Amino acid sequence: MRTRVDIRPRRGSRTDMAEAEGSGGGGSGARPDMAVQRAELGPLLAMALMPGESWYLVDSRWFKQWKKYVGFDSWDMFGAGDLSLFPGPVDNSGLFGDPETQSLKEHLIDELDYVLVPAEAWNKLVMWYGCMDGQQPIVRKVVEYGLFVKHYKVEVYLLELKLCESSDPDNVISCHFSKADTVATIEKEMRKLFNIPTEKETRLWNRYMSNTYEQLCKLDSTVQDAGLYQGQMVLIEVKNEDGTWPGQPILAKGSGFVCNSYSCRDNVSLSQPGLCGLSNLGNTCFMNSALQCLSNTPPLTDYFLEDKYEAEINQNNPLGMRGEIAEAYAELIKQMWSGRQSHVAPRMFKTQVGRFAPQFSGYQQQDSQELLAFLLDGLHEDLNRVKKKPYLELKDASGRPDSAVAKEAWENHRLRNDSIIVDIFHGLFKSTLVCPKCSKVSVTFDPFCYLTLPLPLRRDRLMEVTLVYADPKRRPVQYRVVVPMMGAISDLCESLSRLSGAPAENMVVTDVYNHRFHKIFHMDEGLNHIMPKDDIFVYEVCKQSVDSSEYITLSVYFREKTMRQSNNASGTVLFGQPLLISVPKHKLTVDHLYSVVLEQISRYVKLPLAEEYSATCTGKGTCNGSNGVVEGDIEEMEHQDGGEEVKDKLAEADACHSEGCMPVESARDLQPCKKQLFTFSLVNSSGTSEINSIVEGKILKLNAFSALAIDWDSDTRRLLFDEQEAQAFEKHGSMLQPQKKKAVVALRDCIELFTTMETLGEHDPWYCPNCKKHQQATKKFDLWSLPRILVVHLKRFSYSRYWRDKLDTVVEFPVRGLNMSEFVCDPRAGSYVYDLIAVSNHYGAMGVGHYTAYAKNKVNDKWYYFDDSSVSMASEDQIVTKAAYVLFYQRRSSEEHTAPSPPQEEYDGMDTN
């Protein structure tokens, strides 16, 4: 006898329907409608940061789901209020590197991995939605950076310091501090940790190399201003009763205790001038790499070593930094070229940079080219010989000869900008814009300090995906497929189909995250939505049958029912790999769903065999509940592995209630009555909250990709669910094949790409003065004049809304004799032949990795490799690698090449050598 099956809402309001069953703390407050949520949180999320305030981290995946559910973005209102989009309790599990300690993963990126919300917004979200059970809020303080221009940011990562007493340096305790905390705060914490009475006089020392210590004299200095870095050792020394300080060997005179920012060792070690390493102060390899390149730029280093900068410091330039950057750089260069030290610690220089450029003030990994750009600009403004910049009106070329317009542009530039940096590093671009409608030509000449060259983009990319076959007996297989770089999901399916034999039209591509489908892709969506770290699973599903029955595809999540000890309330926890199942619409009943799911999981779930059943159904069927058993179940389960344990557990179950029973067609069309392994719930797309209850009735009315949860009690999962087999997969041969050697491009290819004509994008139009409207003009860059020192930045990092990537293409660049003459469009220009003098290298992925440098010493003309404090010999054949990021070239003098120089009166300073 079959009873009616239907899906109907729980009693109560629409809000009550979506209440999370296992939402953890909070979430009990009445949740307002979507419009009120948008109105209340909109202004809060737009609030400016204020120092001292607390802000909270929210996993961006949960936050995006919430925005979709409430229709927060005006361009994404489709589906607002759809209960399948309900986000459930706030879930930050994706941000934790260690779920036990709830410590953050390293290298999380704002907006990409998490969003920051103020305290009031956090409180509202938790009041409305609750928070996942056991998760502590991730709260951080707003700290202030900068000297003149104040810059506020949320300090996501606190600084870990290793604290110890000078009398017992082996007893180290790790503590976390804000960069805004003072040295006095550290001292107070250390007194508490090491039980030092308040009346005892103490002093603090920080260790920044193996035997080098510096006293932290200013207790009111912040951690940031004191130059303390991640993992640094801080010692506390307690004064003796007789008024002397301890004479421990570690603190003995001559062991390296200094107050000079750049001192390395007390014992003087003679070395070659310039061959001086730079200590890593905590993720400062990017700075060390840039500094080594500049240090080995002869004309700039000679300028500072000869003290020529002293007469040109411009302390009153409003665009400068009161000459402090120039003075800090000069002090560092003199230390590096003294020949007395094998390495120095550039702490004071970093502190000064951080005061003026807050983005470099912390200890997160940064970009060596961005630091170079800041430093060259900062040195220029600090050393600008122009004390009062005149106002200049820009003039259009208006058909005048290029030489006249270029000469005028360069003279105007020198009227406002005149420094050693301009003398050495500045060149001139020619930019040509042509209107596609009226053919108006606009020619301008603009100065540049470095060339940023694009790399030819790869036309395809490798993706690793896991195919879950429709055949439940087959393990999933991991494939490595080649897809077009700017292709669509359909291209991925076609490529996977060729390797696997599974029909592309039967594939559904998903992004699986934390046991749920974060996204189910449409065939026409771009592959640029998929980032390298995403876990992509492709499911083979039935989309049509022989009898042309309409199939519907459903998401299925595994959940374990748990009991919270605090209030004895039940909750659920997701586990396992989600499923996608296809069911004919006319068979969409609970018992058929049960049989389909049972078939799909039969590889890793122990199922009783037909001959093991001694009892038959008596018309009541199987219980739609986790505790229901019918007579005979215990005897049948004894034949399973671990039968005694199963028998004991099942014996505790309540007797079956006839009204909760229904017959189940098992995966093998078996009819014997047995305990149901799981129950169904209709849930939101995250699987965290139930939308409706499933009750007995007729055909279920479900939409495509509706989400169902199959709920297991803990005992059934432990006894019957094989976790190891459920996670098992095989690797296709494509995963084992060596990857193709990456293409090599020449530096001239990058220059040609830079000077190629392009059409402006629709979002970046040019305003045509003739048409009086914005037009998608054609644009072309050319090189008019080049500097003595040519800095070439290879644009290895690419950014988009969905994609952040590093191009590790090998760029072949000449170490000697780079001839740039053919790329200079001034017909009367001289010869531009360059030799390489330095390279900044980046190893690893974007946002992480390590920076080093190759540089040629100006004293002995030999190449060296600089890796933080380490300096070693290098040869020319080592220099060209895929890690090369910024290249420094020095122009040969006129005696070194035979091409004639241009007439000086024609250029009047245009040739910036």
Q: Each residue of 62-73: pLDDT tens digit?
A: 998 899 888 888
Is 37 or 392 the better-scoring residue by pLDDT? 37
Supply the DSSP symbol for 309: G
Q: Judge whether residue 630 has pLDDT over 70.
A: no
Q: Supply angle C-alpha 377, 381, 386, rounded to 5.
A: 140
Q: For the CA atoms of 581, 583, 588, 594, what is the dihedral angle to 10 degrees?
A: -50
pLDDT given for residue 187 in this prediction: 93
Task: Report which of 207, 205, 211, 209 is spatially closest to residue 190, judged by C-alpha positions.
Answer: 205
Task: Report which of 634, 636, 641 is spatially closest to residue 722, judged by C-alpha positions.
Answer: 641
Instruction: Give the mean model confidence (pLDDT) for residues 136-162.
Output: 77
Examine the residue annotation and report whether 522 is marked as an active-site residue of this protein.
no
Q: Judge whether residue 8 has pLDDT over 70.
A: no
pLDDT given for residue 652 in this prediction: 38
Q: Judge whether residue 9 has pLDDT over 50.
A: no
Asked whether 433 and 766 are in contact (CB, 8 A), the reply is yes
| Separate counts of helices (H) and strands (E) for the chain | 21, 47
Q: Judge whether residue 810 has pLDDT over 70.
A: yes
Examine the residue annotation and report whether 850 is marked as an active-site residue of this protein.
yes
Is 206 or 27 the better-scoring residue by pLDDT? 206
pLDDT given for residue 234 in this prediction: 92
Instruction: Give the mean model confidence (pLDDT) for residues 755-776.
Output: 83
- Helices 60-70 and 34-45: crossing angle, nearest 10°? 130
Q: 842 phi and psi, to 5 degrees?
A: -125, 125
What is the distance between the alpha carbons of residues 84 and 683, in angstroms, rounded to a whole number? 7
Helices in 613-722 by DSSP H: which ranges?
633-637, 643-651, 714-720
Q: Supply angle C-alpha 38, 519, 550, rounded to 5.
A: 110
**Single-letter code of the amino acid located at 267:** N
**Single-letter code of the amino acid located at 797:** F
Q: Is 339 helix (H, G, I), strand (E, B) or coil?
A: coil
Supply the DSSP symbol for 486: T
Instruction: Give the mean model confidence (pLDDT) for residues 900-908.
Output: 36
Q: Judge whether residue 644 has pLDDT over 50.
A: no
Is 389 or 897 the better-scoring residue by pLDDT? 389
Is 887 or 221 the better-scoring residue by pLDDT? 887
pLDDT tens digits, one per residue of 589-608: 888 888 889 888 989 988 65
Q: Is 352 helix (H, G, I), strand (E, B) or coil?
A: helix
Q: Judge whether residue 186 has pLDDT over 90.
A: yes
What is the distance between the alpha carbons of residues 193 and 178, in angstroms, rounded to a whole number? 18
What percent of the chain is modeled with pLDDT above 70? 77
pLDDT given for residue 866 in this prediction: 92
Q: Judge whether residue 150 has pLDDT over 80.
A: no
Marked catalytic residue, from 151, 529, 850, 897: 850
Residue 873, H or E segment: strand 870-873
pLDDT given for residue 567 in this prediction: 53
Q: Provide the whole-model pTM.
A: 0.53
pLDDT given for residue 675 in this prediction: 64
Query: For 13-22, 488-497, 581-590, which range has the lowest pLDDT when averaged over its residues?
Result: 13-22
Q: Judge whether residue 626 has pLDDT over 80.
A: no
pLDDT given for residue 13 in this prediction: 33
Marked catalytic residue, from 131, 285, 449, 623: 285
Average pLDDT of the residues of the chain: 77
Residues 6+ apart with CB under 8 A from 489: 509, 521, 522, 523, 524, 525, 526, 527
Q: Judge whether residue 908 has pLDDT over 60.
A: no
Q: Judge whether residue 135 has pLDDT over 70.
A: yes
pLDDT given for residue 360 in this prediction: 60
pLDDT given for residue 442 in this prediction: 85
Q: How far is CA 82 from CA 71, 89, 98, 517, 654, in A?
A: 10, 16, 33, 17, 38
Asked whether 291 and 372 are in contact (CB, 8 A), the reply is no
Is 458 or 104 the better-scoring residue by pLDDT? 104
pLDDT tens digits, one per residue of 401-456: 888 888 988 888 888 888 999 999 999 998 888 888 888 888 888 899 988 888 87
Instruction: Give the mean model confidence (pLDDT) for residues 534-562.
Output: 82
Instruction: Give the mean model confidence (pLDDT) for residues 527-535.
Output: 81
Split at pLDDT 50, 70, 90, the class of 612 is: very low
What's the per-residue H, E or C state across 625-641? CCCCECCCHHHHHCCCC
Name the maximum alpha-carbon separation found in the chain. Answer: 110
Split at pLDDT 50, 70, 90, the class of 647 is: very low
List beta partners, residue 339.
none
Q: For the CA atoms of 364, 369, 372, 376, what is the dihedral angle to 10 degrees?
A: -140
Q: How far is CA 501 from CA 273, 540, 543, in A?
A: 65, 11, 16
Instruction: Give the mean model confidence (pLDDT) for residues 849-853.
Output: 86
Instruction: Give the mean model confidence (pLDDT) for residues 722-738.
Output: 87
Residues 6+ apart with CB under 8 A from 70: 34, 37, 38, 80, 81
pLDDT given for residue 570 in this prediction: 65
pLDDT tens digits, one per residue of 241-281: 888 888 543 433 333 333 333 333 333 334 688 999 888 87
pLDDT given for residue 93 in this prediction: 87
Chain centre distance of CA 109: 4
pLDDT given for residue 565 in this prediction: 54
Residue 248, H or E segment: none
What is the distance between the alpha carbons of residues 465 and 481, in angstroms, rounded to a whole number? 8
Asked whether 831 and 491 are in contact (CB, 8 A), the reply is no
Split at pLDDT 50, 70, 90, the class of 297 is: very high
pLDDT given for residue 846 in this prediction: 57
pLDDT tens digits, one per residue of 314-371: 888 778 778 888 999 999 999 999 888 888 888 888 777 776 665 565 555 577 788 8
What is the distance between the alpha carbons of residues 400 and 239, in angstroms, rounded to a whole number? 78
pLDDT given for residue 579 in this prediction: 92
Split at pLDDT 50, 70, 90, the class of 293 is: very high
Instruction: Give the mean model confidence (pLDDT) for residues 502-531.
Output: 88
Split at pLDDT 50, 70, 90, the class of 673 is: very low
pLDDT tens digits, one per residue of 30-74: 788 888 999 999 999 988 888 888 899 999 889 988 998 888 887
List beta partners, residue 580.
555
Q: How far apart are the first and last CA of the chain?
A: 96
